[in-house]
A and B are shown apart, each in its own frame.
Chain A
Amino acid sequence: MRCIYLPNQQWFTQLALIFLIAPSAIYAQENQETLTGEISSIIQKYCVDCHGPEESQAQLNLESLSRDLPLVKHRRTWLTIVDRVVGGEMPPDDAPQLSEDERDQLTSFLSDSIDRFDYEAIKNPGFESIRRLTSRELEFTLGDLFGVSVNVASKFPVDLSGTSGFDNSANTLFIQPQLLDRYISAADEAIRVALNDYPESAEQKASFDRFFHTKPKGDQEESETASRLISTFLPRAYRRPVTQAEMDTLLNRYNKARKSGKSFNESMRLAVKLALISPNFIMHIGETPADSKPTRVSSIELANRLSYFLWASMPDDELLQLAASGKLHDSATLIAQVNRMIDDPRAQTLGTVFASQWLGFEDLGTRIRLDPIDNPWCTESLMASMREETAMFFVSLITDDRPVSELISADYSFMNEELASHYRIEGIEGNEMRRVTTAESVRGGVLSHGSILAITSFPYRTSPVIRGRWILTDLLGTPPPPPPPGADEIDEEIAFDETLTAREKLELHSDSPRCASCHKQIDPLGFGLENFDFFGRYRTRNRRQVIDSKGQLPNGTVFRGIDGLKEAIVTHRHDDLVHQVIRKMLSYSLGRQLEYYDEAAIIRIGKALKANEFRMKTLIKQIVLSYPFQYKQHQTEN
């Protein structure tokens, strides 16, 4: 049977070549402006009846799609179309068929337009739309603003995510009435813990003293103190220099309250609350470029981008001061700041916020958990340790400046006693998570982490399909094409046959022509992890049958078990892994979904990484220095 995944594979190889060796073969951009009449008429003649404005089967309207240029904007969709046409699935048998010439013409045009697109020729840094702080960013920001821990994120509804997979994407951060309520309550809560006349803890007292630090006497002194407190507080809250008028707004609020008989402290608190519910606090608001040309972001905006990328929180005083003096645009200064920030505990968010969303393990213990009554062993603390293992591991790759491939191939991990005994590793005592060498065991690298193995399983059963899909899609960024029409229905004959094992059933399922094309890519990857059960425990047998952990990469490389899988990925899919970590981190750092024009930056970052042994600090620095991070441009379309 023909493997219709091939064209994609070729494309990935080509892309890898482009960004690792030497790009810049200039292809005529005019090709991209309009489809030639011949191509258009082929599409009109054979496709639009079912995939047009009147009827859009598979939610595909080729008429509008072929007008949305350049075609690389919808790279995946077009590549799938090429697959379907080359594989003979489209047009369907009962519809008029393309002649061989027409087929070649169409598919080679489409493939060329996409494979040979010259990304370097586009200069578009994209635009970070203004967006609200996520509930987590809010919690961290309030904490850093007052120097006291504030617990507010749990009171927010879960931020649902769309295509980027990150909750900080501007396009899914809506502000709705009920949400604004939460921001107001969060302001109240922050003020209650941070500026309480009757502090409930040493931490709260320290934060109170830091804010109020003097006790003014008399009208004159009070009013001077109020001005001074506001002028210190407001630039930090708004994370930028503020105008006199902005300070006056708060001062008026203070004055009005004070005149109405409220205490000095209470009047100040009301002024602070006004700031904390202002859009200037709850939203990221960058400066709007004067015209539609790419514009370098201001140093203050750069400071904000940097701190929300590395800390998921506000810039600290050092960063704000550097920004205010304009020095942050100096590359050496900027890099020194990156180094300082990576070593700060706040950079843990790269594990707990970024990696947990990218790799999906934040769902463990919340969306994905076992019934606690039937499974008393699956404690909250175990699941927390599992999440922490992966988060700490990811951050350690950065702080220790390890190569990207160690994400897979590491021979160490992080554990405490409960997690170690879950893994049946002896000699780890106590609750504290610590670094553990795992050379002697099956652990090490995210593929062996309980967190990842659990989130890619069903409640009581492993799923080679989900695990395979996770490796291809989330880890490597090379999702298999969407299922062909009708793939939802499982072949009943197979499904009803009780003599088959799950593996046999899946293999049969993969043999059916409709499903085979994708499942041959997906399932064998997952089979390599079958020695781990649905919660990441190692096993050699399942239901009394010895586990067969033989697996295969889409390119045909055969491997066995976790060690084989790790080696196969590092050897054969290294470029994809690097490409994916760049994409994901860039998207997170920009707070938006990536677009086709970001490819140029990804290619450049990839080259720099290659020149530096694919070290993680290089990755972060290159993102910070990249064109889309340093520049922005208004988009004409929405």
Chain B
Amino acid sequence: MSKKSWQLSRRAMLTGIGATVCLPWLEAMESESKASDTPASPARMAFLYFPNGIARGSWNPAKSDQNGNLVELNEWMHPLESLKDDLLVFKNLWTPRGNGHRAGTATWLTGGEYDGGRVSAGGKSVDQLAADKVGQQTLLPSLQISMEGEGFFSGSLPRNTISWTDNRTPASREVEPRVVFDQMFRTSTTSGIDKGVVDQVREQARSIRQQLGKSDQRKIDEYLDSIRSIERRLAFADRQAEIAAENKLLTDTLKRPAPGIPTDHREYMRLMMDMIVLGFWADATRISTFMLDHGQSNRYFNFIDDVKGTWHALSHYRDISGRTEDDDGVTSWKSLDEKRDMFNRVTRWHHEQLAYMLNRMKEIDEGEHTLLDNSMIVYGSSLADGHEHSHEDLPVVFAGGSNLDIKTGRYLRFRDDVPMSNLYLSMLNRMGVEQKRFGASRGPLDDLRG
């Protein structure tokens, strides 16, 4: 852990508005003790989704050398500059079977084809496949979180779901930091249910199941799965308590967030990111997805200097009239450049939050390596250029994984379009899921090794 990043993070905290719930991180930094005795650290994976795409040209690095090493990111990617050695910036990844706000969001992690009538994402998502394999070893097989939606489309299933347990079943997700925290760190008090009760309701469910037809049995199976997961949490409660007790640094850091949704958007997002970091650190889960907003977010980012209008309206940056169907009727822009800058500022703001999370992960020692080295983080959108609604050359940054046979610090530029599924397949393999195909993949992405 470097002194520098510590100072950076403190400054970030001090400028933030509202309560800084996660201040204990600072104490953690000052502490002499190290998280020792951690058994061989497991691989983790997280997928961070943002909607509305980017403005063409704002993703490519300013400079890379002839070997593809990142030398300098562009001005809009600047918040990630100090982390560039831990990054892979991609050129020409895509999702050949669907893109955009609705289909693109729903299939971002499935590599499948979206079917609006049946609300099918065309397959199980990559995180849930990994959860099937390694999730049984942790308290939560996987953690799905999302920023609470705002405005139109907040109730639309496809725009609010990237994680699917099968092609038609969305994995449940949480939007409130405290609820997430409690699921991971207050297991004994939240479920309010004991082994005896679990056995009895399971018995009931099974006897009901016997009397049902096939399609209905599936519903009871969902219930039984849920019971099983509660049971597992009961079983894991002791182990989790042990892990926390042995790791003083972790124990000191655990602080229960206030109930509800923080009004400050930045504080809210960072708190949610803290939940991923804590979950990974405490080995409460190894897999997470995080929707930084729903697939067609109309959120206002007026709290960023020089930004006005909703995110989705800004994403159509070539139209400055303020009178399209995307606009709110009161905002308009003077020039295309002005509007594109605003759109880029919103994107850059999200990079800042990503940088926050990556720095946190970098500060956590796991023996020889850091938590970031043992994690594979995908950050990106299901649209390329937001105005054109294009789907080729999606904006994707990969972070971490240097202890997982991945050579970071590079600009990976593919000549032809490569499916995102290839990347996912390689990540699955590194999580210990042995399979040869996934979604639209043609094979693993061997370029990760360098």
Contacts and interface: CB of A to CB of B under 8 A. Distances in A.
Nearest to B182: A181
A368 B151 contact: yes
A314 interface: no
Contacts of B201: 274, 277-279
B450 interface: no
Contacts of A246: 204
Interface in A313-341: none
Interface in A159-210: 160-163, 170-172, 174-181, 184-185, 188
A502 interface: yes
Q: In terms of DSSP, what is the predominant structure of the interface of chain A?
A: mixed
A56 B222 contact: no
Interface of B: 98, 103, 113-117, 119, 149-152, 154-157, 160-161, 168-175, 183, 190-193, 196-197, 200-201, 203-205, 208, 211-213, 215-216, 219-220, 222-223, 225-227, 229-230, 300, 318-321, 323-325, 327-330, 388-389
Contacts of B205: 278-279
A181 B230 contact: yes
A492 B387 CA distance: 12
9 contacts: A129-B219, A158-B155, A160-B157, A175-B223, A177-B230, A280-B208, A458-B328, A459-B329, A496-B320
A263 interface: no
B169 A160 contact: no
Interface residues of A, number: 64
A93 interface: no
A92 interface: no
B216 A490 contact: no
Contacts of B321: 495-498, 505
Nearest to B321: A495
Given A162-B119, A184-B192, A367-B155, 14 more contacts: A59-B115, A161-B155, A177-B226, A178-B183, A179-B172, A279-B208, A283-B219, A288-B211, A367-B150, A368-B151, A371-B300, A460-B328, A488-B389, A534-B329
B157 A130 contact: no
B219 A130 contact: yes
Given A288-B211, A367-B155, A461-B328, A157 B219 contact: no
Contacts of A363: 155
B204 A288 contact: no
Given A283-B219, A367-B155, A496-B320, A177 B200 contact: no
A249 B191 CA distance: 21
A353 interface: no
B85 to A, nearest CB: 37
Contacts of B161: 160
Interface string A483-512: 000001110100111100010010000000
A497 B160 CA distance: 35
A465 interface: yes
Contact of A492 (B190, B200, B318): B318
A274 B155 contact: no
A502 to B, nearest CB: 6
Contacts of B150: 367
Nearest to B96: A55
Contacts of B219: 129-132, 170, 175, 283
Given A130-B216, A130-B219, A174 B327 contact: no
Nearest to B302: A371
A161 B172 contact: no
A185 to B, nearest CB: 7
Contact of A279 (B196, B204, B213): B204
B215 A163 contact: no
B172 A176 contact: yes
Nearest to B150: A367
B155 A130 contact: no
A638 B168 CA distance: 12
A280 B200 CA distance: 12
A137 B232 CA distance: 29
A129 B226 contact: no
Nearest to B331: A460
B208 A496 contact: no
